[in-house]
């Protein structure tokens, strides 16, 4: 029986022994098609969410919750009728915000605080990044300085305000000093954590590819440490902003300008509770805005490029 | 050495044991090889390795000469130090005793995990290797395309590693190690984590690349069939301490397939020797 007609029985030895010749006889083009077919089977295209879907998933839930909270607050004011000077309603706070806006105080305070926070944060990045790299790569320094830096991260940076006032007086230097003490340890520790999490294999590849120390640091270590570094930057910004508010509340006057913290303190002295609440909301809002506009997109982009952001959408 | 010569006699005693088309010979004394061939790509002399001063001996007196363009498979069970030997040849670890000479200088290395940089696209990963080799910026992109096309991945050049399958990642890693343009390519179980179908295709891919580029390849594996499928020489290592126990030379009659009878016959024979080595470690 010729081999072509055997359909359900295989006669041993009846098939041509193409073992050796098979792969060469089949042309290279055949192999490429075969490989391309397997590649197609093993990869599936990632479905990108549309803009409307992203809006519905990301923006809608917090906005709905916020509106619900404000409604509940207003509801409580209407039903329970508490003392208006101790429990102002959402409308009182809104009025207070518009008043502060019309006098120009609000804009001045936001600009002052934000620019100080931003400059302080950038200085902290400039100091924290090389410090973190040094700590990550130099074991002895890390053993010596590591615990101190972790301790500084836990120490509330408000604790530095009295000392800073004595050293620098009521000047911007005081504010920046406090901000730096808050942010630098976070940034440095974040970078150290990021470097520690680099798979050792990536460094070996760097060595194998012939990278020198500088190339290793800039082309392998820093990019590989980016997720941890970005987390450190985010925390560093949070600490900058908090420390700044604390410093502005305590240190008022002198050559220190009028920031959001100063505005908060002023409203307290005037027993203006709607003003206090309005300022708190503005501080909160600025914090959320910076997170949403700067850090969240950067983080999403970074993680998506590395394939680490897949779980969030599912 | 005496154990090796015994197995050699064993095999010549049974002529039917020898599969057609494959010339099998055992470890001749290394000195004889050196004397016979002046041209060597890699020479390992009296190499021993132990981790720490009081640690166990991982590699014991390894002697090995590899010719340019040879495809050598290092085979052994866990703990035979085959990866350590490869790392020493790669210069990633240092021998406790003995010396390793790679005639062409440094060598390219490929690992079990593709170890691609996850923040770079396939093309950029290859371009980075070109950059570190000193290829001028303007030529990198084109050369990376050519290398990716060599492993049939030109269409995936702009994809990131996480978008590629395991087999595709290993092919990018192969393209990257070819980008280093070094005569010696060291491979540490590069296909061990892949499924059988993908691995089979990659064997063919690697064999073709080897024939086209003329690289000297040292391929570490614990897969006997893989070694029998790919190697021109298969070196069997014993475990604890790691020594080269046996060697098979396979006549190169063009591409083989993993299913072919002579590969199976050789795999059975090697497996028997491997099992014998493993049995030694009982009790």
Here the CATH number for the domain that contains residue A125 is: 1.10.3720.10
Using a CB-CB cut-off of 8 Å, the residues of chain A touching B89 are none
- Residue found by looking up tokens 């620019």 in the block: A115
Q: Could you tell me if A65 lies within 8 Å of chain B, comparing CB atoms?
A: no
- For residue A205, give the chain B residue with the closest CA: B115
Q: Give the count of beta carbons closer than 10 Å to the beta carbon of residue A116.
A: 24
Cα four-point dihedral sign B127, B131, B137, B138: negative
Q: Give the count of beta carbons closer than 10 Å to the beta carbon of residue A125.
A: 19
Q: Residue A40 burial (CB < 10 Å; 0-12/13-18/19+)?
A: exposed
- pLDDT score recorded for residue B105: 81
Q: Give the count of beta carbons closer than 10 Å to the beta carbon of residue A247.
A: 29
Q: Could you tell me if A37 lies within 8 Å of chain B, comparing CB atoms?
A: no
Using a CB-CB cut-off of 8 Å, the residues of chain A touching B253 are 20
Using a CB-CB cut-off of 8 Å, the residues of chain B touching A220 are 117
CB-based contact B132 A209, cutoff 8 Å: yes
Residue numbers of the domain that contains A145: 102-305
CB-based contact B111 A205, cutoff 8 Å: yes
Cα four-point dihedral sign B58, B62, B67, B72: negative
Instruction: Name residues whose C-beta falls within 8 Å of residue A310's C-beta, 6 or more positions apart in sequence.
Output: A46
From the list B119, B201, B254, the residue facing A35 with the nearest CB is B201
From the list A21, A38, A215, the residue facing B198 with the nearest CB is A38
Using a CB-CB cut-off of 8 Å, the residues of chain B touching A22 are 257
DSSP string, B159-202: --GGGS-HHHHHHHHHHHHHHT--SEEEEESTTTTS-HHHHHHH
CA–CA gap between residue B139 and residue A305 (Å, rounded): 25
CA–CA gap between residue B51 and residue B274 (Å, rounded): 25
Q: Name the DSSP class of A3.
A: G
Using a CB-CB cut-off of 8 Å, the residues of chain A touching B160 are 305-307
CB-based contact B152 A226, cutoff 8 Å: no
- For residue B151, give the chain A residue with the closest CA: A32
- pLDDT score recorded for residue B7: 34
Q: Give the count of beta carbons closer than 10 Å to the beta carbon of residue B209.
A: 19
Angle at which helices A260-269 and A226-250 cross, to 10°: 30
CB-based contact A35 B113, cutoff 8 Å: no
CB-based contact B167 A42, cutoff 8 Å: yes
Radius of gyration (C-alpha) of chain B in whole angstroms:
19
Residue B221 β-bridge partners: B75
- For residue A34, give the chain B residue with the closest CA: B201
From the list B129, B153, B198, the residue facing A209 with the nearest CB is B129
- pLDDT score recorded for residue A230: 92
Using a CB-CB cut-off of 8 Å, the residues of chain B touching A211 are 132
CB-based contact A208 B162, cutoff 8 Å: no
CA–CA gap between residue A277 and residue A97 (Å, rounded): 9
User: Is omega for the bond preceding A204 within 30 degrees of 0, making it cis?
Assistant: no
From the list A17, A24, A201, the residue facing B113 with the nearest CB is A201
CA–CA gap between residue B218 and residue A297 (Å, rounded): 45
CA–CA gap between residue A217 and residue B160 (Å, rounded): 22
Cα four-point dihedral sign B18, B19, B22, B26: negative
Q: Which two tokens stand for residue A124?
A: 């902290």
Instruction: Check: CB of residue B16 under 8 Å from CB of residue B77.
Output: no
What is the distance of C-alpha B41 from the center of its chain? 14
- pLDDT score recorded for residue B9: 29
pLDDT in tens, chain A (314 residues): 444 444 454 444 444 444 444 444 457 888 888 888 888 888 877 666 777 887 777 778 888 999 999 999 999 988 988 887 788 888 888 998 998 899 988 888 899 899 999 999 999 999 999 899 888 888 898 889 888 888 888 888 888 888 998 998 888 888 899 999 989 999 999 999 999 999 988 998 998 898 888 888 889 998 999 999 999 999 999 999 988 898 888 887 767 778 888 888 888 888 888 889 999 999 999 988 898 888 888 888 888 888 877 544 43
Q: Which architecture does CATH list for B2-107+182-279? A: 3-Layer(aba) Sandwich (3.40)
CB-based contact B257 A199, cutoff 8 Å: no
From the list B106, B164, B259, the residue facing A19 with the nearest CB is B259
**Shortest Cα distance, chain A CAs vs residue B260, angstroms:** 5
Instruction: Check: CB of residue A110 under 8 Å from CB of residue A104.
Output: no
In chain A, how many domains are there? 1
For the stretch A27-31, contacts whose Cβ atoms lie closer than 8 Å and that sit 24 or more positions apart, written own/partner, are A28/B208, A31/B152, A31/B201, A31/B204, A31/B205, A31/B208
CB-based contact B162 A307, cutoff 8 Å: yes
Q: Name the DSSP class of B245.
A: E
CB-based contact A35 B90, cutoff 8 Å: no
Residue B235 β-bridge partners: B74, B247
- For residue B93, give the chain A residue with the closest CA: A204
- Domain spans, chain B: 2-107+182-279, 117-181
**Shortest Cα distance, chain B CAs vs residue A107, angstroms:** 40
CB-based contact B167 A28, cutoff 8 Å: no
Q: Could you tell me if A35 lies within 8 Å of chain B, comparing CB atoms?
A: yes
- For residue B167, give the chain A residue with the closest CA: A39
Q: What is the dihedral of CA B278, B280, B282, B283, to 10 degrees?
A: -170
Instruction: Check: CB of residue A39 under 8 Å from CB of residue A303.
Output: no
pLDDT in tens, chain B (283 residues): 333 222 332 333 333 344 444 444 444 444 444 444 458 888 888 888 888 777 888 888 888 889 898 999 999 887 788 888 898 998 888 888 888 888 888 888 998 888 899 999 999 999 999 999 888 998 899 999 999 998 888 888 888 998 888 889 999 999 999 998 888 999 998 888 888 888 888 898 899 889 888 889 999 999 998 998 888 899 998 888 888 888 888 887 777 888 888 888 888 888 888 888 888 878 6
Q: Which two tokens stand for residue A193?
A: 């954590």
DSSP string, A179-207: HHHHHHHHHHHHHHHHHHTS-HHHHHHHH
SS3 assignment, position A11: coil
From the list A23, A43, A305, the residue facing B204 with the nearest CB is A23
CA–CA gap between residue B162 and residue B193 (Å, rounded): 16
CA–CA gap between residue A209 and residue B179 (Å, rounded): 9
Lateral strand order in the sheet of B57-66: B57-66, B42-50, B97-102
Does a structural domain hold residue A134? yes
């Amino acid at each position: 029986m010729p081999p072509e007609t055997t359909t359900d029985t295989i006669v041993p030895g009846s098939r041509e022994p193409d073992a050796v010749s098979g792969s060469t006889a089949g042309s290279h083009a055949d192999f490429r098609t075969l490989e391309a077919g397997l590649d197609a089977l093993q990869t599936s295209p990632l479905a990108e969410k549309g803009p409307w879907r992203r809006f519905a998933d990301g923006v809608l839930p917090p906005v709905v919750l916020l509106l619900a909270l404000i409604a509940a607050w207003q509801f409580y004011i209407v039903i329970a009728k508490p003392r208006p000077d101790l429990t102002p309603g959402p409308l009182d706070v809104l009025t207070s915000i518009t008043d502060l806006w019309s006098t120009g105080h609000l804009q001045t305070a936001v600009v002052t605080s934000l620019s100080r926070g931003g400059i302080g944060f950038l200085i902290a990045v400039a100091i924290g990044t090389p410090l973190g790299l040094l700590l990550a790569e130099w074991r002895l320094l890390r053993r010596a300085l590591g615990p101190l830096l972790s301790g500084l991260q836990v120490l509330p940076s408000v604790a530095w305000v009295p000392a800073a006032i004595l050293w620098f007086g009521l000047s911007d230097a005081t504010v920046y000093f406090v901000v730096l003490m808050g942010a630098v340890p976070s940034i440095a520790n974040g970078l150290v954590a990021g470097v520690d999490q680099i798979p050792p294999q990536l460094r070996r590849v760097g060595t194998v590819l012939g990278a020198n120390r500088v190339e290793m640091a800039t082309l392998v270590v820093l990019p590989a440490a980016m997720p941890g570094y970005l987390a450190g930057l985010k925390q560093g910004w949070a600490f900058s902003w908090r420390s700044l508010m604390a410093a502005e509340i305590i240190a008022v006057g002198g050559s220190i300008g009028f920031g959001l913290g100063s505005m908060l303190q002023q409203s307290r002295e005037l027993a203006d509770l709607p003003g206090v609440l309005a300022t708190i909301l503005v501080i909160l809002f600025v914090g959320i805005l910076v997170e949403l506009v700067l850090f969240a997109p950067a983080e999403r982009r970074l993680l998506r490029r590395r394939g680490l952001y897949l779980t969030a959408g599912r | 050495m005496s154990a090796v010569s015994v197995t050699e006699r064993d095999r010549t005693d049974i002529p039917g044991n020898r599969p057609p088309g494959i010339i099998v010979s055992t470890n001749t004394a290394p000195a004889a090889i050196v004397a016979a061939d002046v041209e060597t790509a890699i020479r390992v002399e009296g190499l021993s390795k132990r981790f720490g001063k009081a640690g166990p001996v991982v590699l014991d007196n390894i002697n090995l000469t590899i010719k340019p363009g040879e495809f050598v498979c290092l085979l052994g069970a866990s703990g035979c130090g085959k990866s350590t030997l490869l790392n020493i040849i790669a210069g990633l670890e240092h021998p406790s005793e003995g010396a390793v000479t790679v005639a062409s200088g440094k060598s390219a290395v490929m690992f079990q995990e593709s170890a691609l940089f996850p923040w770079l696209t396939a093309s950029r990963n290859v371009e980075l290797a070109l950059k570190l080799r000193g290829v001028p910026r303007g030529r990198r992109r084109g050369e990376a395309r050519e290398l990716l096309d060599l492993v049939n991945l030109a269409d995936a050049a702009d994809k990131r590693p996480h978008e590629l399958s395991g087999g595709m990642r290993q092919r990018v890693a192969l393209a990257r190690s070819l980008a280093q343009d070094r005569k010696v390519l060291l491979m540490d179980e590069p296909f061990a984590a892949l499924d059988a179908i993908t691995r089979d295709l990659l064997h063919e891919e690697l064999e073709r690349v080897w024939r086209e580029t003329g690289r000297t390849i040292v391929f570490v594996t614990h897969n006997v069939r893989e070694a029998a499928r790919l190697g021109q020489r298969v070196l069997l290592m014993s475990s604890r301490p790691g020594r080269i126990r046996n060697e098979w030379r396979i006549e190169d009659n063009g591409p083989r397939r993993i299913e072919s009878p002579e590969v199976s016959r050789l795999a059975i024979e090697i497996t028997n020797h491997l099992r014998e080595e493993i049995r030694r470690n009982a009790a």
